[in-house]
Amino acid sequence: MTTIALRIRGPNGAHSVSVPAEASLEHLMQKVTETTSIPLHQQELRTGFPPKPIPTSSPSTTTLSQLGLRSGESIQVTANTSAAETASPGSAASTSVGNTSTHLDAIASSSTSPLATNHRPSPTAASTSASTLAKPTSSAGAGRYVQVDGGYLCLRTVPDDNSCLFRAVGLLLAPEKVDLRQLVAEVIRNNPETWSEAVLGQPQESYINTILKPNSWGGAIELAIFASYFNTAIASIDVKTGRVDEFGEGEGYENAAVLVYSGIHYDAVTFSYAEPSSADVYPFPNLDFDTRLFSRTSEYDQASLMLIAAQELVTALRKTHQFTDAATFTLKCEQCGKAIVGEKEARAHASETGHVKFGEYDG
């Protein structure tokens, strides 16, 4: 008998359950009661992005396969306390399920990166069926989140400490705290033909030694490695231009992650059912309910819908000039004092001298 693994996300946390693929919805709802203590007649279930209710008019005859539920999907459970205690399982006001593909990968590279060759045009409502996905937010949320059907698309800001790319990618793809710098080093060392001196711009061991230093910036090379390693497309939206660079495009990956790139800094984007608080700062207290990855399948392209909403976030950031022109900003090498203009020059200086600690140029 084929079984499917589902993730139940309720008020008391997240739980994994296994059920037969041909089980009835009522069987699943009983599992939900076991894990959340929410009675069948009070259950509201949502799935997908944006989250949509699961129809529960005939829970005893509707099968999970008929609903399109697949192994690995998440179901968001809330309690409708106004439901009559005597109601039957089929009379719940609405049922919603949250297909929370768990990872939303990192936003990527600088506009001048040689590996950022797959440029996707900014998605538009006309290219999808989600013309009303993003809704205006209050001024309090401007630049931090946009309201979408069923929840909020949130900018998760990570520290500006020269490791922002690794922190943002780790938040979305490696919440178990994989050492991402070490991962990059191992992939490069084990694949010398793919990551040759011509691609890296310097000898392999020199690049490895540099990227292992905590103050070294990551960029297109690292994002390409992460996309391949995690089998996840990584979309990077540039705040200044709105352009989307995608790593892993065309590889057939079924999940995608999103990063926002300001010119010198990367942040992560997640979907949350709850409105983010102004107190939500790194390290974030609890992102268990956030969707970090978005599915991209022939049945439903969540990633494109998410990118539409992410453009709303980026537009708000652009209006308040929260970006840096990477080609013209001035830095100072804190190891030798040299003034450096632009990211390209900073990378060249690091390659030539081994200096990797840069700060704002104070004139």
Domain count, the chain: 3
166 and 128 in a common domain: yes
Q: What is the pLDDT of residues 351-361, one digit of tens each?
A: 788 776 666 66
Asked if residue 106 belongs to a domain, the reply is no
Dihedral angle computed from the Cα positions of residues 167, 170, 172 and 177, in that order, rounded to the nearest 10 degrees: -130
334 and 189 in a common domain: no
Catalytic residue among 103, 105, 154, 164: 164
The rounded mean pLDDT for the chain is 75
154 part of the active site: no
284 and 212 in a common domain: yes
136 and 83 in a common domain: no
Q: Which domain holds residue 207?
A: 119-319
344 and 308 in a common domain: no
pLDDT attached to residue 122: 34
155 and 72 in a common domain: no
**By C-alpha distance, which of 268, 67, 239 is closest to 156?**
268
CA–CA separation, 20 vs 1, rounded Å? Answer: 7
62 and 21 in a common domain: yes
Q: State how far the alpha carbon of 82 is from the alpha carbons of 78, 93, 328, in Å.
A: 12, 9, 58
- For the chain, the distance separating the N- and C-terminal CA atoms, rounded to the nearest angstrom, is 70
Asked if residue 113 belongs to a domain, the reply is no
pLDDT attached to residue 75: 84
27 part of the active site: no
Which token pair is 92?
């719940």
Q: Which among 19-23, 255-259, 310-314, 354-358 has the top mean pLDDT? A: 255-259
pTM of the entire structure? 0.58
- 273 CB neighbour count, 10 Å cutoff: 18
- In this prediction, residue 91 has a pLDDT band, given cuts at 50, 70 and 90, of very low
Q: State how far the alpha carbon of 337 is from the alpha carbons of 221, 305, 329, 340, in Å.
A: 27, 46, 16, 9
Asked if residue 181 belongs to a domain, the reply is yes
Report whether pLDDT(287) > 70.
Answer: yes
Q: What is the pLDDT of residues 34-80, one digit of tens each?
A: 888 889 888 888 876 556 788 877 778 888 888 888 776 778 788 88
350 and 298 in a common domain: no
H or E element, residue 19: strand 13-20
288 and 155 in a common domain: yes
Side chain identity, residue 324 = T
Pairing, β 3-10 against β 74-79:
parallel
Catalytic residue among 41, 105, 245, 265: 265
pLDDT attached to residue 52: 75
CA–CA separation, 274 vs 9, rounded Å? Answer: 13
Pairing, β 255-261 against β 233-238:
parallel
Report whether pLDDT(190) > 90.
Answer: yes
- In this prediction, residue 326 has a pLDDT band, given cuts at 50, 70 and 90, of low
pLDDT attached to residue 99: 28
160 and 46 in a common domain: no
Catalytic residue among 119, 160, 161, 179: 161
pLDDT attached to residue 12: 72
Catalytic residue among 41, 103, 349, 355: 355
Asked if residue 259 belongs to a domain, the reply is yes
pLDDT attached to residue 49: 54
CA–CA separation, 54 vs 75, rounded Å? Answer: 10
Asked if residue 108 belongs to a domain, the reply is no
φ, ψ of residue 123 in degrees (nearest 5):
-65, 145
φ, ψ of residue 183 in degrees (nearest 5):
-60, -45
- In this prediction, residue 328 has a pLDDT band, given cuts at 50, 70 and 90, of low
